[in-house]
Amino acid sequence: MKPDLDLHLILGGARSGKSRHAEALARQAEAAGSSIVYVATAWAGDEEMQARIAEHRARRPASWIQLELPDADFALAHALRAQAAENRCVLVDCLTLWLAQHLCPPPGVRTRDAQAEVDALLEALPALSGRVIFVSNEIGLGVMPVGAETRRTIDALGRLHQQLAQRAHRVTLMVAGLPLELKPSRGSCP
């Protein structure tokens, strides 16, 4: 990892406050002089997902650069390489949808090698600088699901979380809107 990269992984369940917490951190970074790039990973597949995307869009300040990942190979790794920079905060929301979309693509989206996408993401990290905040659902805390496809997604996401947590300077678990610091900061950023 480059010494000027501040990597923060924010995990939590559905409606735990993880996106709001990440957005608050991005607002703090913006107040301190950083530009903000919001990388949205969700592909709108149905009306309910379209409504969720619209809700998230409405919360983002107009001053933020907003990128919605295209249906393209290694789009997240490419976006990070292009956008992560000194005096910039890149917020990626969320890795759960990003990975699930590769494992179980929505209608009209071609299947990709999810592991190759994860590998490309992890390979991109050492070259990044600035601040990068990843948001992801911690979905492995419940009972083991019956369906093989769901188990495969939980397993892949759990492996990704472990790999990112190992590389991250900070890891936060959100519960009921409260941040629980699992891995402390190196002290350089708010």
Element (H, E) at 134: strand 130-137
Mean residue pLDDT across the chain? 91
Q: Considering only CA atoms, which of 43, 40, 45, 41 is closest in space to residue 107?
A: 45
| Cβ 184 vs Cβ 9: under 8 Å | no
The CA-based dihedral angle spanning residues 15, 128, 99, 116, taken in that order and rounded to the nearest 10 degrees: -170
Best-predicted range by mean pLDDT among 1-15, 35-49, 96-110, 125-139? Answer: 125-139
Residue 139 pLDDT exceeds 80 = yes
- Give the lowest-confidence range in 10-14, 100-104, 142-146, 161-165: 142-146
Range list of H helices, 43-187 = 47-59, 75-83, 95-103, 114-124, 148-167
Per the listing, tokens 């949205």 go with 40
Q: How many helices (H) and strands (E) does the chain have?
A: 6, 7
CB 5 within 8 A of CB 130: yes
CA-based torsion, 187, 31, 57, 126: positive or negative: negative
Report, in this order, helix, strand and coil percent for the chain, each rounded to 5. Answer: 40, 25, 35
Lowest mean pLDDT: which of 35-44, 74-83, 154-163? 35-44
Confidence band of 185 (pLDDT split at 50, 70, 90): low
Say what the pLDDT of residue 67 is: 95
User: Of the residues 8, 21, 56, 78, which is catalytic?
Assistant: 56
Domain boundaries, the chain: 5-183
pLDDT at 145 over 80: no
The CATH number corresponding to 5-183 among 3.90.1150.10, 3.40.50.2300, 3.40.50.720, 3.40.50.300 equals 3.40.50.300
Neighbours of 129 (CB within 10 A): 16
Average pLDDT over residues 161-174: 97
Q: What is the pLDDT of residue 187?
A: 53
Catalytic, 8? Answer no
